[in-house]
Structure 1
Amino acid sequence: MSVEIALTSTEIRARYLDYFASKGHVKVPSSSLVPRNDPTVMLTTAGMQQMIPYFLGRETPPGSRMTSAQKCFRTTDIDIVGNQRTLTFFEMLGNFSVGDYFKREAITFAWEFLTQVIKLPAERLHPTVHPDDAEAPGYWSEIAGYPDDAIVRLEDNWWGPPGASGPCGPDSEIYYDRGVEHGCGRADCKPGCDCERFLEIWNLVFMQYFQDRDGVRTPLPKTNIDTGMGLERLSMVVQGKESVFDTDIFRAIIDHFAQLTGVRYGQDTRVDTSLRVIADHARALVFLAADGVLPSNEGRGYIFRRVLRRAVRHGKLLGLDKPFLSIAADTVIKLMGDYYTELREQRDRIVDVLSMEEKKFSQTLNTGLQLLTELLTELRAKEVSVIPGDAVFKLYDTHGFPVELTQEIASEQGFTIDSAGFEHAMQQQQERSRAASTFSQADHETNLDEVLKRVGPTRFLGYEGVIGTGKIVSLVVDGKEVENISAPQQALVILDATPFYGESGGQIGDRGDLNSHAGVFKVQDTRRPVKGLIVHYGEISEGHLRVGDTVQAEVNSQRREDTMRNHSATHLLHKALRDLLGTQVQQRGSLVEPERLRFDFSSQRGLSANEVEQIDAQVNRWIRAASPVHTNIMPIQEAMATGAMALFGEKYDDVVRVVSMGESIELCGGTHCASTGQIGLYITVQETSIASGIRRIEGLTGRAAEAYLRRRSALVDTLAAKFQVQTDMLEMRTEQIIQELAAARRQIAQFQREGAARLAESLVSQAREVADVAVITTVVEVPDDKILREMGDMVRTGLKRPGVVVLAAPFEERIALQVNVAPELTKRGLHAGKIVSAVGQKIGGKGGGRPEVAQGGGKNKAELGAALDLVISLVQENLR
């Protein structure tokens, strides 16, 4: 039985939100996939996640009744995405009550929405409840007319982490009966059965208890409602589809890539899996990128990278040999950008992130796949089914091939990996890296607390200048205190007083020299491993030093001055950002080096080019004003009363240092210019997102800014000279050249296709007769693989009878193979993928593909003739 109407997913979402709005619910926009103020989870996994502060009473909700369509991302099943139902990214429809309505109303709303708003057949809906819930069955009977014995009791109908403390309660799940044809055939088949007949579509959670750590539950002062219904599953049911991937949510992406790769969805399990992976992963990546998640090797960034790499691999399996995720991204944005407007706003950045990361990974993937295929072939020949851990590690460490992909590909081909061996190899590599460090871990783990207790805190002289006198109070070598050091030992030197700034507050440590009458110590870094103690890290280059010696400490003055310019500029930058964007902007970190500055700040959106220009202009106005920089030491309460800005999340002492320059007032312990004029010049070179709600500006000052402008100016002059135009005409001339180049490429491509077509016509006459099959095997000269593929298709379609075409194209370091088989012949046992595999192995390579079309290649050109001769025997042996 089909549903009465088929709504699009967009219409279903709108009807859901409008329905609950009509019942007094406030429409709450989806929160970011990066959870706000919740370090316990990496990504938003449920619609109720943003509601937790309201349920716990920590924040005031916008209303006691709320509804939302929440972006969600779950990572636990990434490896099996591609089956009929599993997703990484999905939308969770939810309605919530904070101390307002409870079970009766929640059940009433659910039943009314399903049966009257989207008109699902009532006889196909089946509620389940927890066995201990005495109220919910009565409401289901009263509201929906279910007899008590028709309501299924399931132990799983309980929400709340077992063994942990917090709100919890029973829930009621609503299942949809997909029909007996999907069932297991057992007479007792019902909701909760492991078969595919009953599909859970909505979960109504009744939070009515608080569970303590001992498992004791007591009633909550106020009960809450939390419901969740996956839009994708609901769309599948409403639209009468067999899979979520058959709904309008995914088919536009799937159909586009099926057409692009020349395949048909629904005819080959492997092809279908790859198309579904691309469809799911493309959506996931677009939304991750829109919420500021960038690819990296840890945390959310690693999830991004893992999903992208899996998508690229499945694209390769479909024959996509060029970047394709930007195409998929535009399809996703077109489908979902009207509701999730951030997709349209962030479109260019999303495409840039995906394109850059996909391009970076493609070469890694090609190399890794080739090496892994060779490895599996060797192991199969030895009848070994476990890939050694050191081999997996070599693929990962040397070639950058992700271990998850190795594991997935191995599993597909009947192999497992030695995980313990991989972890052991990883641990050994980490130990080698630590051992190779300039300063051993022991240097940092030395009990410097005892040193501090004995000698007292270091007196910092660096605010007054870059040269000062200090006495050596401790020397540390290999984690142990010593009385003296001699060239060329590495050591830690601690003075009673120093002008060297120890790294803190984002400002890196100073470098320079410690000179005594008997030796010279080169300071490579200065740190504060223990609060109050400034430690000089480096190497004695001449003579020797002893505890008790007096040294002249001299900081590298140019490096210090460059660092001070950048540090003072961060204060002005912070002030300019707050003036332009509002006082909600907060500093979330910084890095101040001699070469550059980096400033992280809170903002829900990126800066436009015009805003970056305004920021730079304001900072440079303050620089030209040459305002003096003042510092004052005062109690923190007094400092905050002056309006001084403090670093978000930083802990301060009772007495603090306040740095003022013009309109900027901040708590800061770093070194600064004497006046803003000494900064010289400020330029923003990049503004990016580093996390949800966190932006990063990178800038240059002083000498580095001047050098940057000189390089840019020289580049413009060079290009203008090459294009033989004045610099002010460079942009117009560049656009002309781009258009001319595009036209030339189109013309070359047309010439190549015409040449290929002529050659294809001549090849048709060279067909040999094998039984009743036309066979062509030959070597051709073509410019690239694309033309080779097109030629193979031209030759096959030009034959007057069903045939097999095998073309080989020698390139500089390889031979490319193209095999085309007439569709009629695939039913008689001929398979293009098997033919190209055999020919590819003969020339020291490989190949594979679909029954009608396949590609391969190798490097042994000496065996090419013999390899092509194999085709006749392959046709004779396999033709039925």
Structure 2
Amino acid sequence: MKNLKSSDIRQMYLDFWASKGSKVEPSASLIPVNDPTLLWINSGVATLKKYFDGTLTPENPRITNAQKSIRTNDIENVGVTARHHTLFEMLGNFSIGDYFKEEAIPWAWEFLTDEKWLAFDPELLYVTYYPEDLDTKRIWQEKVGLPENHIVPIEDNFWDIGAGPCGPDTEIFYDRGPEYQDLPDEDPEMYPGGENERYLEIWNLVFSEFNHKPDGSYEPLPHKNVDTGMGLERVTSVVQNTPTNFETDLFLPIIQKIETLSDGKKYGEDKALSVSFKVIADHVRAVSFAIGDRALPSNEGRGYILRRLIRRSVMHGQKLGINKLFLNELVPVVADIMESYYPEIKADQDFIIKVITNEEQRFQETIHEGLDILNAVFAEMAEKGEKVVNGANAFKLYDTYGFPLELTSEYAEEKGFTVDTDGFNTEMQEQRNRARAARQVEDSFSVQSAVWADVVVPSAFVGYTQTKVDSELAVMVAHDEIVEEAAAEEMVQLIFRETPFYAEMGGQVADKGTIETAEGEVVAQIEDVKRAPNGQTMHIARVLTEIHANEVYTLHVDEARRRNITKNHTATHILHQALKDVLGSHANQAGSLVNPSHLRFDFTHFGQVTAEELVKMEEIVNQKIWEALPVVTIETTIAEAKEMGAMALFGEKYGKDVRVVTVDGYSVELCGGVHVQNSQDIGVFKILSESGIGAGVRRIEAVTGQAAYAYFRTKEAELNEAAQIVKAQQTKEVTAKILQLKQELKDVQGENESLKAKIMKNESKNIFENVEEVNGTTFITYQTKNQDMNALRQLADQWRQKDVSDIFVAASEVDDKVNMLAAVSQAKLADGFKAGDLIKVIAPFAGGNGGGRPDMAQAGGKNPAGIPDALKHVSVWISEKNN
């Protein structure tokens, strides 16, 4: 076996499959593009679903990649087992209807055993196969030459996740030797494919050849596919002969850095502490890559997972004696390890560090909050005489605050308690079940469409320069069948030889328009436009009369709608650069929408965007519009585009040749959309709103041209109406009038408050004389009207100064609602009387609830009619309390 670095293994794998005619696909973003079924890219094949389900046909049916992936369904196993990770790299090779078992199996063997490649000892390799898949067994025996005792039938070797493509698979195992054997020879699990540490699965080859139908039956797929996967971390541990993945060069430098940050702790000296080293090393890799792909911590979705990973790392850091911000110091180590294949981590290092540091700082507060909750649980248990922290509470701390179970157990032990681990595990299993159910949906592929997969007729898009062309209808599909004609009201999918219609892509919506005869009769309405599997423009149309294949029709884009789209699209490009000019280079696009009515632009940024910054952005965009800058599109290679400084848009995938849209050098972006020819065509640009839509992600919505004019007219009408209301002669006087009215209102409110205070003072003379008593406890209740909570608090202050009773309760009806306040004297607090307890009991009578300090509490209610009953119940509460 060769002595190889992880980077060597990765490159060797890609080179091998490239030598077999495979196209090397770059690792896609961890954030799925146009795939709402996935939270993260969780496998090498996840980015290729569109090829496997027939949505698209690849240029080359042979594909290979090294794909960064994230899985967090078994997060609690990270660091405990030898090979569990949140982020991992899947080395994959794929055949979309091209080579199959006869080629895939011998090639896999060649890569593993040939001296030119990994050069594994063939005697140490074993394989498993599905018992009914005799072809696979034959190939292993006849073409590869594996002896019978190295080929193991396993019933589970059939990849099937429900309805959709499925098929048998064969797995390759490496025998790590007796020193890794954790079970005796006679143990029923001691074999390749069993649950043991000796025989390590390193590669899985899936042969997708059936369609699992909803009725449970299986039918052959129109195209048979190969989907294989080999985990880089796992194969590296074999090549580098390490006990677990964590001692490989992918993790060990991170662990060594953590050692320097801990208070003298060493990896490997203590089993429990070693888990903490592993967890941090694993999580910081996942977090660095995810943030680099512009996933940001938040309270939901993938942002919640990031937050949880960071918090788990911090908690495990504390177990190693690290009580400062430290994850930011690990990011450069991750960047150095991965730089050869993922240079973007080093390029984005400062941004990643900023996000992580911000989240670590936030968590310092949350740690204390979690500990407060835990201490409150302990206090309640002590009061009730309980000794076991229930599993639900322990799981809530784990799930919400990142407290590992063992940490909760340690705190509990210090206080003389134990934790219901069985209850915790039950809660954890329920979460796993939910994740597994979701994952089955996530990983599903739709069934291939044999019709569209085989449609290869060319179709040219001419819409950059034309909005109306005559073109032959080459293919028409209705009800998933190719047809020659369609009647009125049928929905059809059409491909023309040429088309001016833009298919939805890159945030820009599809064109709409009509299909007409040479005489001008409209025969169909185009309602949507998408990409067909083989890349052609597919028109989705509603037939109005009748339409025939192989005839020439006039395709007419709705030009007014298109003009508005182009204005908004070019404005989006200018806005993108203006954002960077005002906020900084970190303000990258995180999504966009360009339609006829408005534009929407999402971008990464921490903190608020000030009103002054918005004004500045708006001024820049309008200035570029008024400078009448030429908008030029250049077709070039991706390499030359990058040299030009072109920005790539979020979620877009670019081929070898690209279009670069430049607004006179000010804005330079890769883009396949349609644009104005000169910036002055936009007319005017107006920001409507700016808001946060997630942690570190903000959104601007804006309008241009005619929509902007309509916006200004609306605002003008509102201003004129305001002028009439405040009786201003001209609109420019509105502000002064409002300020005048505001001052007058303030004066009136002051007088009103003064009168209220006088009335309250007069009333209070009588209030504090009506003292009642129950079992030696004195109290006063008072009902009034139109007094806010502040007035009731002032009344309570007077009561406290006069010291006339032990308890005071006041309630007021205001606008059909209830304000209620309870106060308890300091002397009575010592007897266990608490205002918060009292208010919780009486507030429901008035349709409310509340709480507060032991000496003063308040409540709101919705039922003023219940105030008398609430006040009457004060004496009942006191009586029960005394007993």
The two structures have a TM-score, normalised by structure 2, of: 0.50
Q: What's 1:184 paired with? A: 183
**In the alignment, is the contact (CA less than 8 A) between 2:688 and 2:700 conserved in 1?**
no
Alpha-carbon separation, structure 2, partners of 1:385 and 1:15:
55
Q: Does the 8 A contact of 1:73 with 1:90 survive in 2?
A: yes
Checking the alignment, whether the CA contact within 8 Å between 2:128 and 2:172 is kept in structure 1 is yes
The 1:167/1:408 distance shift into structure 2, 3 A limit, reads farther
Equivalent positions of 1:7-156 (< 5 A) are: 7-83=4-80, 84-116=82-114, 117-156=117-156
> In 2, Cα distance between the equivalents of 1:378 and 1:253?
42
- The structural deviation recorded for 1:575 is 5.9
- How far does residue 389 in structure 1 lie from its aligned partner after superposition? 5.3
Q: CA deviation at 1:277?
A: 0.6
Distance 1:346 1:690 in 2: 18
| Pairwise CA distance, 1:409 | 3.4
Distance (Å, rounded) in 1 between the aligned partners of 2:33 and 2:574: 26
- For the residues of structure 2 that align with 1:307 and 1:258, how far apart are their CA atoms? 20
Evaluate the alpha carbon distance shift between residue 227 and residue 695 of structure 1 in structure 2; reply closer, same or farther with a 3 A threshold: farther
What is the CA-CA distance between 1:5 and the residue it aligns to? 2.6
How big is the shift at 1:587? 3.5
Q: What amino acid maps onto 1:156 in structure 2?
A: D
Deviation at 1:580, TM superposition (A): 10
The 8 Å contact of residues 176 and 199 in structure 1, kept in 2 or not, is answered as yes
Whole-Å separation in 2 of the counterparts to 1:85 and 1:585: 33
Q: Offset at 1:698?
A: 8.4
CA distance 1:98–1:335, change in 2 (3 Å): same
CA distance in structure 2 between the aligned counterparts of 1:689 and 1:383, rounded to whole angstroms:
41
Contact 2:75–2:86 (CA under 8 A) maintained in structure 1? yes
Partner of 1:574: 572
Give yes or no for contact 2:69–2:89 (8 Å, CA) kept in 1: yes
Q: 1:31 to 1:689 in 2, by over 3 A?
A: farther
SS at match of 1:57: coil
How many residue pairs match? The answer is 492
Q: Is the contact between residue 2 and residue 239 of structure 2 (CA under 8 Å) also seen in structure 1? A: yes
C-alpha distance in structure 2 between counterparts of 1:228 and 1:18, whole Å: 16
Alpha-carbon distance, 1:144 to partner: 3.0
Contact 2:600 2:699 in 1 (8 A): yes
Q: Report the residue type matching 1:193 in the other structure.
A: G
2:292 aligns to what? 290
Aligned counterpart in structure 2 of residue 588 of structure 1, from 590, 593, 598: 593
Preserved contact between residue 686 and residue 697 of structure 1 (Cα < 8 Å): yes
* 1:686, distance to aligned residue in structure 2 (A): 11
What pairs up with 1:432-831 in 2 under 5 angstroms? 573-574=571-572, 576-577=574-575, 587-588=592-593, 599-600=601-602, 617-622=620-625, 676=684, 696=699
CA distance in 2, matches of 1:335, 1:576: 37
Q: What is the alpha-carbon distance in structure 1 between the residues aligned to residue 261 and residue 196 of structure 2?
A: 35
Distance 2:2 2:9 in 1: 11
Q: Contact 1:616–1:683 at 8 Å: present in 2 too?
A: no
Partners of 1:684 and 1:27 lie apart in 2 by 43
Q: For residue 232 of structure 1, what is the aligned residue in structure 2?
A: 233
How much has 1:66 moved relative to structure 2? Answer: 0.9
The Cα shift of 1:405 comes to: 2.4
- The one-letter code matched in structure 2 to 1:129 is Y
For the structure 1 residues 29 and 370, does the alpha-carbon distance in structure 2 shift closer, same or farther, using more than 3 Å as the test?
same
Q: CA deviation at 1:276?
A: 0.4
3-state SS, counterpart of residue 85 of structure 1: coil
Q: Is contact 2:626–2:680 with CA below 8 Å preserved after alignment?
A: no
Question: How far, CA to CA, are the matches of 2:570 and 2:695 in structure 1?
Answer: 21
| Pair 82,221 (structure 1): closer, same or farther in 2 beyond 3 Å | same
Cα distance per residue 1:778-827 (max 9 Å; x no partner): xxxxxxxxxxxxxxxxxxxxxxxxxxxxxxxxxxxxxxxxxxxxxxxxxx
Deviating more after overlay: 407-416 vs 276-285: 407-416
Match of 1:415 among 405, 411, 419: 419
The one of 375, 385, 390 aligned to 1:387: 390
The AA in structure 1 aligned to 2:39 is M
**CA deviation vs aligned residue, 1:287-313 (integer Å, no higher than 9, x gap):** 110111111111111011111110111
Q: Contact 1:601/1:695 (CA < 8 Å) preserved in 2?
A: yes
SS at match of 1:335: helix
Specify the alignment match of 1:816 in structure 2. Answer: none
Maintained 8 Å contact 1:587/1:600: yes
Aligned 8 A contact 1:207 1:225 in 2 = yes
The reply to whether residue 168 of structure 1 matches residue 166 of structure 2 is yes
Which of 299, 305, 308 is equivalent to 1:306?
308
| Alpha carbons of structure 1 residues 695 and 367: separation in structure 2 relative to 1, 3 Å | closer
Shift of 1:577: 4.9
The one-letter code of the counterpart of 2:20 is: K
CA shift for structure 1 position 373:
5.9
Cα distance change, pair 695–404 in 1 and its aligned pair in 2 (3 A):
closer
Report SS of the residue matched to 2:243.
Answer: coil
1:375 positional shift = 4.3
Unaligned ranges ≥5, structure 1: 424-566, 604-611, 626-647, 649-659, 667-674, 703-880
Show CA shifts across 1:751-794 (max 9, x none): xxxxxxxxxxxxxxxxxxxxxxxxxxxxxxxxxxxxxxxxxxxx
Instruction: Using structure 1 for the length normalisation, give the TM-score.
Output: 0.50
Q: Does the aligned pair in 2 maintain the 1:684–1:700 contact within 8 Å? A: no
Deviations 1:159-218 (A, max 9, x none): 120xx3211100000011112231411336211222211111100001111111112111
The answer to whether the 8 A contact 2:192-2:199 is kept is yes
Distance 2:222 2:387 in 1: 62
**Cα 1:328–1:389 shift into 2, 3 Å:** same
Following the alignment from structure 2 to structure 1, what is the Cα–Cα distance between the partners of residues 394 and 60? Answer: 57
> Contact (CA 8 Å) 1:281, 1:308: kept in 2 or not?
yes
Displacement of 1:600: 2.6
CA contact (8 A) 1:312 1:358 kept: yes
**Greater relative contact order: 1 or 2 (C-alpha under 8 angstroms, separation 6 or more)?**
2
Which amino acid counterpart does residue 96 of structure 2 have in structure 1?
Answer: V
The answer to whether the 8 A contact 2:626-2:679 is kept is no
Partner of 2:245: 244
Q: In the alignment, residue 66 of structure 1 is paired with which amino acid?
A: I
Deviation at 1:147, TM superposition (A): 2.6
CA distance in 1, matches of 2:590, 2:333: 34
**DSSP-derived class of the 1:46 partner:** coil
- Structure 2 residue 200 is the aligned partner of structure 1 residue 195: no
Show CA shifts across 1:586-641 (max 9, x none). Answer: 83389x99xxx9733799xxxxxxxx99996343343689xxxxxxxxxxxxxxxx
Report the CA distance between 1:690 and its aligned residue.
7.8
**Secondary structure at the counterpart of residue 63 of structure 2:** strand
CA contact (8 A) 1:202 1:227 kept: yes
Cα distance in 2 between the residues matched to 1:113 and 1:335: 24
Q: Secondary structure at the match of 1:242?
A: coil
What amino acid sits opposite 1:302 in the alignment? Answer: Y
Helix, strand or coil at the partner of 1:38: coil
Residue number among 317, 338, 348 corresponding to 2:340 in the alignment: 338
CA offset at residue 130 of structure 1? 0.4
What is the CA-CA distance between 1:121 and the residue it aligns to?
A: 1.4
- The one-letter amino acid paired with 2:593 is R
User: 2:394 touches 2:408 (CA, 8 Å); kept in 1?
Assistant: no
Shift of 1:152: 0.5
Conserved 8 A contact 2:79-2:276: yes
Give the SS at the match of 2:370: helix
State the alpha-carbon separation in 2 of the partners of residues 421 and 378 from structure 1.
23
Shift of 1:38: 1.2
